Chain A
Amino acid sequence: MNLKDTPLWEVFVRSKNGLSHQHVGSLHAVDATMALQNARDVYTRRAEGISLWVVPSNAITASDPVDRGEFFEPTASKVYRHPTFYEIPDEVGHM
């Protein structure tokens, strides 16, 4: 067998409690057990994490860059959703 048959996994690490898991990279492993141990050995050699997720890469459904315009641009014009859109008089203080 060759590596082609060894699935690719995406690795997510939680660096400490209170933070969410972050994508850190990928690796090859035959199954979830091996993927988790490989993730531990490859991506947490410098005490980078306290919790790991591994996800088969082919289980991720990604948005298509072609759709970037219709997916994401419409929100760019809705500036009123951001607090900086509103002016509060200085006298009122922090809000």
Chain B
Amino acid sequence: MSVQQALIDYSLRLADNANVLGHRFCEWSGKGPMLEEDLALSNLGLDLLGQARSFYSYAAELKGDGCTEDDLAFLRDANEYKNLLLVEMPNGDFAVTMLRHLLFSAYYLPFFVALSQSNDKTLAAIAAKAEREMAYHLRHSAEWVIRLGDGTEDSLKRMQDAIMVLWPYTGEMFESDEIDQQLVDAGVAIDPESLREQWHATINEVFQRAGLVEPESVWMQTGGRTGVHTEHLGFMLAEMQFLQRSYPGAEW
């Protein structure tokens, strides 16, 4: 695989992650547990949609075939989407959403910090901006996980249930394939394995403060990178892509 192709795929993965997770936050609009939190959830979504646009635009530019960020977001089928399974998991209750975001941002904060030093200037620039956004995402989701874990009996149970639901989707974050390796060697990408320790330390600290227990080793789900998704993604894309699919070629 050419470095160029690897870079396109790499950008698309990052874009898909942000796009799919951003969509999940759109689903929260108007449904937050407090008006104040509704605004907070939208801010998280807006950051992610912004990141998705940057990464898709870069992928489109690298492809150089005249495609746009929207072509990549709205005209690729589920098996072409390369996001982590974690981000397509349904919002569930607020505990699931906040835990999902903790697991995600505890990974993506150190990831973007490292990527901001990438040899690829565009990725480095996007990462430098995303790094600051992700720091706030981590702070916000960690606070909520602690609050809910340390809250009532009911909220503790919901958090612990959420962990059971989501934990099997955390292993995928640390996998790498030839695309990663090729770009790591070129000083462009980040070796996912190198983030494991820091991610784990963050999760550990939050869980401790929240009174939550990390599951013993569980079988990890995988497939996002190769386009083998959960059943949830198809429905999300059916909704997300409806207008672009139904009215091909229209400008919006």
Contacts and interface: CB of A to CB of B under 8 A. Distances in A.
B132 interface: no
**Binding site secondary structure of chain A:** helix
Nearest to A37: B140
Interface in A1-59: 3, 6, 27-30, 33-34, 37-38, 40-42, 45
Contact of A28 (B36, B139, B143): B36
**Binding site secondary structure of chain B:** helix
Interface residues of B, number: 12
Contact of B43 (A3, A34, A45): A45
Quick one: which of B36, B43, B143 has the most chain A CB within 10 A? B36
Contact of B34 (A28, A33, A45): A28
B40 A38 contact: yes
**Interface size classification for chain A:** 10 to 19
Contact of B143 (A37, A41, A42): A37
Contacts of A3: 34
Interface of B: 34-37, 39-40, 43, 136, 139-140, 143, 147
9 contacts: A3-B34, A28-B36, A29-B36, A30-B147, A33-B143, A37-B139, A37-B143, A42-B39, A45-B39
